[in-house]
């Protein structure tokens, strides 16, 4: 078990890891890629350095590795808490006493007619939170990555059937679906339809799928998804933290773009530093 697991190897996560490692605590950083800085061309407003986003990210990661921070390049699917945090990735499971969520800005909801309208009326963003409400029923998972498969698998034990709606993004993971109640539908979605609750998915080829619930799991799971699973407070796609970067869940912290505010490297680094020092106090 680690003292601390940090999800995200962008400026917020790496900054926190420097403080935690130098305090002699065990820390694991899990990051899928370098995050927002991958797309940033030349950065001219960060103190002391002018470089591309990628270069700045790589300097930070190299610095963390040089002081002994362990970084794993994995995708996190879910977090649970049962006297310790357990993080599940595409490679395995890891436990820790504290967790820092630093996965960057939240993704935008898929632009499919009906998603916003049926939020709370059949549209859900968390299989583990809401799956039980759909026990014995037919549901769908919207998404085509590994996260969508993970959510479908969570649901498959509770519901009658799960259809993964890839919305045309054909995937190659069909071997995972042998002998299960999970099927894949690669049709393009036209809209989600219903009355006071969602009733069906309509596809552009005029076929329909009767459905009781749709779980949105597009792309990669975000800090918001993790916070939601653990019962941490969220406001308009931002995790609510206090000035110590603490969420309302003891041992769960968040920093960087996922808490909103000025979405810049300097703020992410500062919030990571605050989270790191506060986590050290928490562990001790």
Nearest to ligand FAD of 211, 218 (CB atom)? 218
* Residue 77 CB, nearest approach to ligand FAD (Å): 7
* Residue 10 CB, nearest approach to ligand FAD (Å): 2
Tokens standing for residue 155: 């649901």
Nearest to ligand FAD of 41, 170 (CB atom)? 41
Nearest to ligand FAD of 77, 118 (CB atom)? 77
Which residues have C-beta within 8 Å of that of residue 135, sequence separation ≥ 6? Answer: 158, 159
* Residue 180 CB, nearest approach to ligand FAD (Å): 23
Contact 85, 79 (CB under 8 A): yes
Binding site for ligand FAD (CB under 6 A): 7-13, 30-37, 39-40, 43, 45-46, 53, 75-76, 102-104, 220-222, 256-257, 263-266, 268
Nearest to ligand FAD of 10, 251 (CB atom)? 10
* Residue 272 CB, nearest approach to ligand FAD (Å): 7
Nearest to ligand FAD of 40, 65 (CB atom)? 40
Q: How far is CA 185 from the centre of its chain?
A: 24
Cα of first residue to Cα of last residue in the chain, in angstroms, is: 15
* Residue 202 CB, nearest approach to ligand FAD (Å): 30
Provide the 10 A C-beta neighbour count for residue 269.
22
* Residue 87 CB, nearest approach to ligand FAD (Å): 9
**d(C-alpha 78, C-alpha 260), whole Å:** 22
* Residue 90 CB, nearest approach to ligand FAD (Å): 9
Nearest to ligand FAD of 10, 122 (CB atom)? 10
Residue 82 sits at the vertex; the CA angle it makes with 81 and 85, to the nearest 5 degrees, is 40
Nearest to ligand FAD of 46, 81 (CB atom)? 46
* Residue 138 CB, nearest approach to ligand FAD (Å): 27
Nearest to ligand FAD of 35, 114 (CB atom)? 35
């Amino acid at each position: 078990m680690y003292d601390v697991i940090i999800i995200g190897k962008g400026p917020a996560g790496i900054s926190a890891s420097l403080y935690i490692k130098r305090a002699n605590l065990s820390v694991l950083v899990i990051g899928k890629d370098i995050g927002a800085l991958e797309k940033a061309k030349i950065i001219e407003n960060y103190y002391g350095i002018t470089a591309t986003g990628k270069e700045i990210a790589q300097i930070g990661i190299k610095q963390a590795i040089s002081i002994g921070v362990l970084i794993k390049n994995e995708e996190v699917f879910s977090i649970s808490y049962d006297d310790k945090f357990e993080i599940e990735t595409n490679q395995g499971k890891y436990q820790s006493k504290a967790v820092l969520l630093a996965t960057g800005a939240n993704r935008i909801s898929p632009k499919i007619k009906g998603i916003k309208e049926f939020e709370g009326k059949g549209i859900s963003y968390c299989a583990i939170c809401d799956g039980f409400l759909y026990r014995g029923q037919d549901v769908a998972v919207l998404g085509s990555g590994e996260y969508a498969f993970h959510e479908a698998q969570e649901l498959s034990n509770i519901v009658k059937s799960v259809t993964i709606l890839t919305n045309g993004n054909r995937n190659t993971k069909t071997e995972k679906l042998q002998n299960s109640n999970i099927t894949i539908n690669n049709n393009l979605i036209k809209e989600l339809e219903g009355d006071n609750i969602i009733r069906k998915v309509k596809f552009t080829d005029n076929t329909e799928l009767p459905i009781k619930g749709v779980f949105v799991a597009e792309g990669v799971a975000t800090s918001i998804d993790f916070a939601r699973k653990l019962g941490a407070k969220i406001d308009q796609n931002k995790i609510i933290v206090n000035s110590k970067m603490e969420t309302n869940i003891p041992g769960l912290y968040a920093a960087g773009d996922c808490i909103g505010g000025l979405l810049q490297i300097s703020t992410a680094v500062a919030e990571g530093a605050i989270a790191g020092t506060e986590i050290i106090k928490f562990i001790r």
